[in-house]
């Protein structure tokens, strides 16, 4: 006796779809509105990442809490006619030929599906739109070199209620080309729905982005080329973000003073990393930046996020390398410090007597270790 999948209890359906590959789940979802609703409900409990490499492939990854998961890679090509061993697969108005093979490794099942279509761009836009409709929350990575295609792809995922991450990187076949100003401007215009935006596309020295009345509101934004960001840009558009990382950006002392003063007047910024060109910030001191800051105080020892200075738990700063400041409401303090080639602001830190005592112990341990090594060396020389 055959039992309809759609008539089973939801918990049973969910268990079945957790063990079902993504291609099979997608094939079931496109059968009817009811099957689509069922698949959507069963898939909503996991993390998904969707990656599109322009006209090359689409990759959907599903992760379970235990580290296992499924990966579906659609390899796009326009070979005509398709090989006889391929099967016909109808997706909306698209009829394509597919052939799949799967392999399992360390609890992850990966399915690689060759897709033959007479219009790769239209098929890719359609399948991305459909996949995004199945997931209310989604992370995206897009490798696209064409501004119009970016616009189409971003519009195709409008149905997603929450876009967690959008990562824009230059396609691997386009890595040696020059700056792409139009592309970066379009990304900044079109992708402000994302919570986290990562833009790894270079801009020219003449790139200009308008200062708008609507500031950015990202949980995090990372840009590999940020020479275009002026003091005014930063204060009016970036201070409303929680985390900002800008590479290739040199701010003067006056710029930094203005930015940090604006932060003290009110900002939700919790972490800022400004990485300068070459050695611009290396060896820099912050004394002139905070000279006119009421309440700003130098700090010698602190515990800061280990991923920003992976040396030891306690960081011992040299003279003029670290300062504590506070917002005017008296509720939010921050440290500003120099780390290698970067200026960093963080609200996640610890200072005080306990930290100073830890630093003193570490210094004493290092002194004893050096003394032991010196004595050992003298014995060997004798």
Interval 207-216: pLDDT, tens: 999 997 789 9
Alpha-carbon span 95 to 261, nearest angstrom = 59
pLDDT at 330 over 60: yes
Q: What is the pTM of this model?
A: 0.83
Mean pLDDT across 171-175: 63
State how far Cα 53 lies from the chain centre. 17
Domain boundaries, the chain: 1-44
pLDDT at 1: 39
Find the range with the poorest average confidence among 13-27, 102-116, 165-179.
165-179
The confidence score (pLDDT) of residue 91 equals 81
Look over the chain and give the mean of its residue pLDDT values, rounded to a whole number. 88
Beta bridge partners of 162: 137
Residue 45's SS3 state is coil
pLDDT at residue 287 tops 70: yes
Q: What is the rounded CA–CA span in Å between residue 178 and residue 226?
A: 15
Most confident of 49-53, 79-83, 88-92, 139-143: 49-53
Q: How far is 126 from 341, CA to CA, in rounded Å?
A: 44
Q: Is the pLDDT of residue 310 over 50?
A: no
Decide: 306 and 243 in contact? Cβ < 8 Å. no
């Amino acid at each position: 006796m055959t039992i309809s999948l759609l008539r089973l209890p939801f918990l049973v359906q969910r268990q079945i779809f957790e063990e079902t590959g993504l291609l099979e789940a997608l094939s079931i979802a496109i059968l009817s509105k009811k099957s689509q609703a069922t698949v959507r409900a069963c898939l909503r409990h996991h993390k998904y990442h969707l990656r599109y490499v322009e006209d090359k492939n689409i990759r959907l990854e599903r992760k379970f809490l235990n580290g296992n998961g499924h990966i579906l890679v659609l390899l796009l090509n326009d070979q005509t006619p398709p090989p006889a061993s391929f099967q016909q697969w109808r997706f909306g108005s698209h009829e394509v030929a597919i052939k799949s093979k799967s392999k399992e490794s360390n609890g992850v099942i990966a399915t690689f599906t060759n897709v033959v279509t007479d219009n790769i761009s239209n098929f890719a836009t359609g399948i991305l739109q459909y996949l995004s409709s199945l997931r209310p929350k989604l992370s995206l990575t897009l490798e696209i070199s064409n501004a119009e295609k970016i616009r189409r792809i971003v519009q195709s995922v409008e149905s997603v209620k929450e876009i967690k991450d959008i990562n824009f990187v230059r396609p691997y076949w386009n890595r040696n080309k020059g700056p792409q100003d139009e592309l970066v401007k379009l990304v900044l215009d079109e992708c402000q729905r994302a919570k986290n935006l990562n833009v790894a596309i270079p801009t020219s020295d003449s790139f200009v982005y308008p200062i708008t009345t609507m500031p950015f509101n990202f949980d995090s934004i990372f840009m590999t080329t940020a020479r275009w960001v002026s003091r005014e840009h930063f204060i009016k558009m970036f201070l409303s973000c929680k985390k900002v990382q800008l590479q290739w950006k040199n701010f003067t002392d006056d710029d930094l003073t203005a930015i940090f003063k604006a932060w003290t007047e009110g900002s939700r910024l919790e972490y800022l990393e400004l990485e300068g060109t070459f050695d611009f910030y290396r060896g820099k001191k912050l004394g002139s930046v905070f000279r006119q800051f009421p309440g700003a105080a130098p700090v010698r020892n602190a515990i800061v996020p280990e991923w920003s200075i992976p040396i030891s738990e306690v960081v011992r700063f040299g003279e003029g390398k670290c300062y504590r400041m506070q917002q005017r409401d008296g509720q939010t303090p921050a440290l500003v410090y120099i780390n290698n080639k970067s200026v960093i602001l963080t609200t996640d830190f610890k200072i005080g007597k306990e930290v100073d005592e830890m630093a003193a112990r570490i210094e004493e341990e290092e002194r004893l270790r050096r003394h032991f090594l010196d004595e050992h060396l003298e014995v060997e020389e004798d």
